[in-house]
Amino acid sequence: MTTPLEGYVGIDTLTEQIRKKALRQGFEFNVMVVGSAGLGKSTLVNTIFKSKVSRRQPEEDYHTPSTVEIKTISHVIEEKGILLKLSVTDTPGFGDQVDNTNCWQPIMRHVNEQYEKYLNEEISIKRRKRIPDTRVHCCIYFIPPSGHSLRLVDIEVMKRLVEIVNVIPVIAKSDSLTLEERERFKATIQQQLIEHNIRVYPDLENLDVDDETERQRNLKLKERLPFAIVGSSTTHQVGSKAVLGRKAGWGVIEVENDAHCEFNHLRNMIIRTNLQDLKEVTAQVHYELYRHRRLETLKKVPLDSVGSTPSSPSYDITNSEPNHKKVANTPKLGETGKAIAASQKEVVEALSESKI
Amino acid sequence: EAAGDYNGSVDEGMRTLNLSGHVGFDSLPDQLVNKATNQGFCFNILCIGETGLGKSTLMNTLFNTNFENEPQHHNMPGVKLKANTYELQESNVRLKLTIVDSVGFGDQINKEESFKPVVEYINQQFENYLQEELKICRSLFSYHDTRIHACLYFISPTGHGLKSLDLKTMKNLDNKVNIIPVIAKADIVSKGELHKFKIKIMNELVTNGVQIYQFPTDDETVAEVNASMNTHLPFAVVGSTEEIKLGNKMVKARQYPWGTVQVENENHCDFVKLREMLVRVNMEDLREKTHTKHYELYRRSKLTEMGFIDDNDGGKNFSLQEVYESKRNDHLNELQRKEDEMRQMFVLRVKDKEGELKKSEKELHDKFDKLKKMHMEEKKKLEEKKKSLQDEITGFEKKRQQAETL
């Protein structure tokens, strides 16, 4: 029930005030890329952000790390007066070992470590005005373009990652697939994701149901997943234009051409439409879940196993809460209330017993 | 704060990169604003001032609406805080506005304790937020924030300076809330006196170390206007919801025989300045300062008072929630225990009273029996007496008859 205003007050200037504040403070965004070596992770990040954010490993020096490493590099980029602190976490060595059992553990440990850091700061007595946010907002998972189906390791890793972070799967180096092969591949992958209950981003249950346009847009995006992408930082001449692309003997694959690949969709989703949402889902859903588990157990749980096994008891928390945002609060005074009611009953009984 | 400098850590290897094309994150502010707008906003104002200073009228004038508050009378036994929440909307911005009024402030003979309910109220809102923040299962993002973002302190237009009640109250509030002092019913004070009055007030505030809210000057787009407004504090305000026709317009004004005071005329009073600062320029900053400065201070001292310290190991603080909860449970158990005690005492007293009543009932019965017995005996005696009298009468009659027949 709104109280009617009889004239202009100026409440609507709040949006402008918030915008100004945001511009002053700047933004931050943390991306993680997960995939085997040579799938074009660094190139993709560089293509999205149109700058040398990641340094590609030169082929001569390349050596397979003996374990999965986690490497984070941060940069500040600026566009039209807006400052963005971008951190990219790479995972060299992932999926490259002979035995890839538990290759997800270092990744999960890294994600959980960031939550842990944030939680530590949040819980301190003396805490900073703005808690530095190193939590991973978005994890891009690179699927090799086999054309068949997800590999076992893909399923195992994604299954665990979606529990703790926003995962966006992409088909890497998709220029090796024809359009029909690509569609078939996607259909198989989508089916496998449903089969294994792997909830990739955007997860419609975490969405604000209020905004219908946003909901529609996210539904469409979801249907397109995983995005078939091609990355490149080199430009070539096509006709009269200079385009970003890969030159092959049979033509130029244009990165930003929707007929060639789905790079634009990925880029638009991550940067132009869903960046804020990615951050909010991380903060309000994944982080809260982590915090909940952490405070509840209060024991030192090994950080790489939190939420790792689908059958572990902590998993039940995920299953029983379909919408994390709306988790009900246990009324702490319910007990006292009941006790008061009971005692009142007692007194009444005592009085009635002793009726003269 | 630019994105690059955080209080504390500056990452190594962080350099500014040049973009070779349009990336598109210039839509970020829009994304942020959209999300915030969808969620709606909260703003809470506390009005402190003596009864009759026009607090309610000013709120009505400020927000162009009639907030339905009956004028309070002057004989309140103590200070009470009354909060009312209203849903306002302007274009796509929804605002949950809570106006808290200090009822009975300054009406008592002894005003030593007047500020205390106000401090308690402010602390209680901080406490509620803190408890929500510390919950294991929390919904901080949909929490209705009731913390006071702005405290309008209404100064009586005496023209002489601050009253000691004013100083005492503001001194107790300045580290808990953003104080914006206003001179109420400023149409009483003449222009010349007003200037002196303002200077006197500001001097007294400075001398007594009262920290009032300063409009921020770190954003260059508003720094100038904010800095200028800071020099006009305290704002001399006049409120009115009545409209008078001036020329061909209807304006909010107060009409006197000697002239008309127009509320929105900056030559007549500072109402426009107040509205500009409070609503149109600094509302967001007021909210932010409440959260990052006043609330943090409360939180820090509350937690320290409860015995928590920052253990750099990090391990100890995880039990923050647990210990806080257990202390709270202790408190609740204590209350429960007291309640049980009271209940038991009550039952005992009832039984005692019952016993007493039974005793006196018995006594009454005994008395009654005794009386009855006495009554019976009396009756018997009387009967006997009656009988003996009757016998006497009969005897006498007999004798008379005998005497008559002789």
C-alpha A141/C-alpha A226 separation (Å) is 9
pLDDT at residue B110, rounded to an integer: 85
Q: Which pLDDT value is given to residue B224?
A: 93
ipTM of the complex: 0.77
For residues A113 and A303, the answer to whether their CB atoms sit within 8 Å is: yes
Rounded average pLDDT per 10-residue block, chain A, 356 residues:
84 92 91 91 88 68 71 89 91 84 90 94 87 94 92 93 95 91 94 93 72 83 90 84 85 88 92 92 94 75 43 32 35 42 53 46
Concatenated DSSP letters of A106-132: HHHHHHHHHHHHHHHHHH-SS--SS--
Q: How many CB atoms lie within 10 A of CB A47?
A: 24
CA distance A159 to A151: 12
Known binding-site residues of B equal 52, 54-57, 72, 160, 185, 187-188, 193, 239, 254, 256
Sheet holding B93-103: strands in order across? B80-90, B93-103, B41-48, B150-155, B179-183, B235-236
Residues B251 and B196 in one domain: yes
Least confident range of A332-341, B13-22, B273-282: A332-341
Of the candidates B3, B21, B31, which has its C-beta nearest A76's C-beta?
B3
Q: Which of A224-233, B104-113, B127-136, B303-312 has the lowest mean pLDDT?
A: B303-312
Listed as own residue / partner, the contacts of B332-340 with beta carbons closer than 8 Å and 24 or more positions apart are B332/A332, B332/A333, B332/A336, B335/A336, B336/A336, B336/A339, B339/A339, B339/A340, B339/A343, B340/A343
Would you call B267 helix, strand, or coil by DSSP? coil
Do residues B99 and B212 share a domain? yes
Do B299 and B324 lie in a common domain?
no
pLDDT value for B2? 34
Task: Yes or no: say if A83 and B3 are a contact pair by the CB < 8 Å rule.
Answer: yes
Across B116-151, b (16+ Cβ under 10 Å) vs e yields ebbeebbeebbeebbeeebbbbbbeeeeebbbbbbb
pLDDT of residue B328: 74
Which residues are CB-neighbours of A153 under 8 A, at least 6 positions away?
A95, A100, A103
Q: What is the DSSP string of A267-317?
A: HIIIIIISHHHHHHHIIIIIHHHHHHHHHHH-S---TTTTTTSTTSTTHHH
Torsion of CA B11, B13, B16, B19, to 10 degrees: -120
pLDDT of amino acid A57: 61
Annotated binding site of A for GDP: 38-43, 56, 148, 175-176, 181, 184, 231
Q: Residue B1: inside a domain, yes or no?
A: no
Q: What pLDDT is recorded for position A302? A: 46
B110-122 confidence digits (pLDDT tens): 888 889 999 999 9
* pLDDT given for residue A262 in this prediction: 92
Tokens of B398: 């007999």
Pull the structure tokens for residue B24.
């598109």
Residue-by-residue DSSP string for B326-373: HHHHHHHHHHHHHHHHHHHHHHHHHHHHHHHHHHHHHHHHHHHHHHHH
Beta strands in B233-355 (DSSP E): 235-236, 243-246, 249-256, 259-262
Q: Are A148 and A185 in contact (CB under 8 A)?
A: yes
Q: Is residue B27 part of a domain?
A: no
79-118 of B, contacting A, C-beta below 8 A = 86-93, 95
Q: Taking CB atoms and an 8 Å limit, are B310 and A340 in contact across chains?
A: no
Percent of chain B residues topping a pLDDT of 90: 50
Nearest CA to CA, how far is A272 from chain B (Å)? 6
Touching A: B residues 271-300, CB under 8 Å = 275-276, 279-285, 288, 292, 296, 299-300
Answer yes or no: is B209 within a domain. Answer: yes
B376 close contact with A: CB closer than 8 A: no
- Does residue B311 sit within a domain? no
What span, in angstroms and rounded, lies between the C-alpha atoms of A134 and A32?
A: 11
User: Do residues B118 and B240 share a domain?
Assistant: yes
For the segment B186-243, what is each residue's pLDDT rounded down to a tens digit?
988 888 899 999 999 999 999 999 999 999 998 888 999 999 999 999 999 999 988 8
16-35 in B: which are within 8 Å (CB) of A?
A: 16-29, 31-35
Please report the number of interchain residue pairs, chain A to chain B, with beta-carbon separation below 8 angstroms. Answer: 270
- Residue B41 has φ and ψ, to the nearest 5°, of -120, 165
Asked if B59 and B136 sit in the same domain, the reply is yes
- pTM here? 0.76
Rg (CA), chain B: 38
The distance from CA B388 to its chain's CA centroid, rounded to whole angstroms, is 88
SS3 B204: helix
- Is B211 inside a domain boundary? yes
User: B9 pLDDT exceeds 60?
Assistant: no
Provide the token pair at A209: 């149901």
pLDDT: which is higher, B387 or A53: B387
Judge if B262 and B354 occupy the same domain: no
- The burial of A244, by beta-carbon neighbours within 10 Å (0-12 exposed, 13-18 middle, 19 or more buried), is given as buried
Residue of B nearest to A284 (CA): B141
Q: Which DSSP symbol is given to B85?
A: E
Interface of A with B in 147-206 (CB under 8 A): none
| Domain match, B236 and B332 both | no
- Encoded tokens for B115: 């500020």
d(CA B36, CA B267): 37
- 10 Å Cβ neighbour count for B273? 18
Which residue, among B1, B5, B27, would best test binding to A if mutated, counting the most A CBs under 10 Å from its CB?
Answer: B27
- Name the DSSP letter for residue A332: T
For residue A162, which of A107, A113, A208, A118 has the smallest C-alpha distance?
A107
The pLDDT score that the predictor gives to residue A93 is: 84
**What integer is the mean pLDDT of B101-128?**
91
Structure tokens given for A313: 């008891």
State the residue for tokens 């259909």.
A187
> Is B6 a member of any domain?
no
The residues that bridge with A141 in the sheet, in sequence order, are A34, A169
Backbone torsion region of residue B221, taken as left when φ is above 0, otherwise alpha when ψ lies between -120 and 50, otherwise beta? alpha
Which residue among B283, B306, B329 closes a domain?
B306
Q: How far is B114 from chain A (nearest CA, A)?
A: 31
CATH number at residue B94: 3.40.50.300
Quick check: is B205 in a domain? yes
Measured CA to CA, the distance from residue B339 to residue B110 in angstroms comes to 33
Half-sphere exposure of B389 (CA within 13 A, CB side): 6
CB–CB of B343 and A346 under 8 A?
A: yes
Pairing, β B93-103 against β B41-48: parallel
Fold of A99-299: Rossmann fold (3.40.50)
Burial zone of A165 (CB within 10 Å; 0-12 exposed, 13-18 middle, 19+ buried): buried
- b/e code B77-97 from CB counts within 10 Å (16+ = b): eebebeeeebebebeebbbbb
Give the residue carrying structure tokens 């490493």: A69
* Amino acid making up residue B142: S
Q: Quick check: is B4 in a domain?
A: no
Please, what is the average pLDDT of chain B?
87
Number of domains into which chain B is organized: 2
**B142-170 residue pLDDT tens:** 899 999 999 999 999 988 889 999 999 99
Q: In chain B, which among 344-373 make CB contacts under 8 A with chain A? A: 346-347, 350-351, 354, 357-358, 361
Beta-ladder partners of B249: B246
For B278, which DSSP code?
I
Closest by Cα among B306, B337, B298, B269 to B130: B298
Task: Give the closest residue to A119 by CA, choosing from A110, A104, A132, A105.
Answer: A132
CA angle A243, A248, A254 (to 5 degrees): 25
Considering the domain architecture, whether residues B115 and B247 belong to the same structural domain is answered as: yes
Both structure tokens of A160: 């665990």
Cβ of B222 under 8 Å from any chain A Cβ?
yes
3-state percent helix, strand, coil for chain B, nearest multiple of 5:
50, 15, 35
B316, two tokens: 């100890």
- Domain boundary, last residue among B273, B306, B339: B306
Q: How far apart are CA A216 and CA A253, in angstroms?
A: 30
User: Residue B159's domain spans which residues?
Assistant: 38-306
Asked if A210's CB is within 8 angstroms of B14's CB, the reply is no
B79 to each of A57, B82, B110, B179, how far by Cα in Å? 71, 10, 11, 19
State whether B126 and B200 are in the same domain.
yes
The residue whose two tokens read 């089969």 is: A195
